[in-house]
Every structure is written in structure tokens, then in C-alpha cells.
Structure 1
Amino acid sequence: MIRMVILPISVVLLAASGYLHAAKNPKDDADGCYPGLGDYIRRVCSSSGATLTRFSACSYTCEKKEINVPSSWTERNLPDGLPCGRCRECCGGRCTRIQFNLQNPLTLKSCAK
């Protein structure tokens, strides 16, 4: 009886432990969008003495840590018009739905200028 209880519990614990370390680092997330993008963004952050701490579909965050000074974060947006999902584009750091001009020919109203 005890073995029957311990085995399922250990399987659940092993399965759950995989989820604890499943998160990628921001560089890997950016590279998943486009190979080399993570290195580029990391260089942008490090040029100001900061490190890449977050990557999302349309923005990334650099954190600057200094001794005896509170950390500071800078969020930078990826270019407007960059695709960020199915029928979506980056606009002002947010992934927004593409707007169409439903005329002949079909055109887009993009936020990119």
C-alpha cells in the first residue's frame, strides 16, 4: 500500500520539478524570435552598463545595478511594424492587431512610419 502511494507522489514531484526550470533566459527568448537578436539586444544593454533582464514580443528591459544605489530599469521598444503574432504587429512596444483597409486592393493601416 505504501509503495502504491509513494510512486505516484514521486512521479508528480519529478514532473513538477521540470516546470520550475522551464523558463528560458531573455537572450534565448530573443534568439527564438530571430537568431542573433539576443546577442544584439544584450550588446545594447551592456553598452550602457546594464544587463538584459526581460524580453517580450515587442520590447525588452535592461537592468543597471550599482553598489549602494537602487537598480534602474530601462524598457526599449522593438521597431513599430515588426510582426509579433498572427495578424499582429508591434506598435509602441505593444503587440496589437493589424488593421486592414477592406478595399480593392486590400491594404494595411500600419503604425510603422
Structure 2
Amino acid sequence: MIRMVILPISVVLLAASGYLHAETPEQEAERCSPGLGAIIRTVCSSSKSRLSSFSDCSYTCEKNEGNGKITRTSYYLPSGWPCGKCMECCGGTCKHIQFEIKNRLTLKSCAN
């Protein structure tokens, strides 16, 4: 009986401890590329919004319109921007970079 009570409590404590150290969307963007967090925060603040989420190739700005109405606007990072190890943003999706090995190593980018 005691084991059944201790296990759920320890699971809840472990889940809560991971949540307490979550990064802000701006910190996630900075980890991706130094300066990126400031750029996307500026985009959001120029429309009187705040940065609410960040993923590999997109971010969302959130604005409280009053009366309980919240407006969310999502933006994609430009195609060709890096989003991971040997990956780039292509139309809002993080995809692997394609290399062509011929006489010289060339790169096929979705931005071209």
C-alpha cells in the first residue's frame, strides 16, 4: 500500500522539477542562434505583442486585445536559415540539407 502512494508522488515531483527550469521562448531562440531572440522579440513588440512560443522554424506573438480576447500571430523564419545540425528552414519546416558530391562539394538549399 505504501509503495502505491510513494510512486505517484515521486512522478509528480519529477515532472514539476523539469517544468520549473523551462526556457523562455527568447532563450530557446538564442540557443538556436545568438541574436535571434532579440530579433523576433522586436518583431513581436513592434505590433504591441509579446513573444509567446518558439520552435525550430517558427515563432508566435501573442497580444491581449482586452475583454479576454487574445490574438496569436505565427511567423516562419526565412527559408535557408539554419535550424539544427546540418538542417535548414524550408517553408516553415526544419529539413536536412542536401549535399551533392561531384567534382566539388555543393549544397542544394531550398532558399535558392
TM normalised by structure 2 equals 0.79
1:23-59 deviations in whole A, cap 9, x for unaligned?
2110111111223321221111010111101111111
Kindly state the Cα deviation for residue 106 of structure 1 after the two structures are TM-superposed.
Answer: 2.0
Give me the whole-angstrom Cα distance separating, in 2, the residues matched to 1:15 and 1:41.
Answer: 32
Q: Could you say which residue in structure 2 is the equivalent of 1:104?
A: 103
Q: Could you say which residue in structure 1 is the equivalent of 2:51?
A: 52
Whichever of the two has the greater Rg, that structure is: 1
Where does structure 2 lack aligned partners over 5 or more consecutive residues? Answer: none
Runs in 1 of length 4+ with deviation above 6 angstroms? Answer: none
Q: Specify the SS of the correspondent of 1:52.
A: strand
1:61-110 deviations in whole A, cap 9, x for unaligned?
11122013732221112121122122211111110111222322121110
Give me the whole-angstrom Cα distance separating, in 2, the residues matched to 1:34 and 1:86.
Answer: 12
Q: Specify the SS of the correspondent of 1:32.
A: helix
Give me the identity figure in percent: 52
Q: Does residue 71 of the first structure (1) align with residue 76 of the second (2)?
A: no
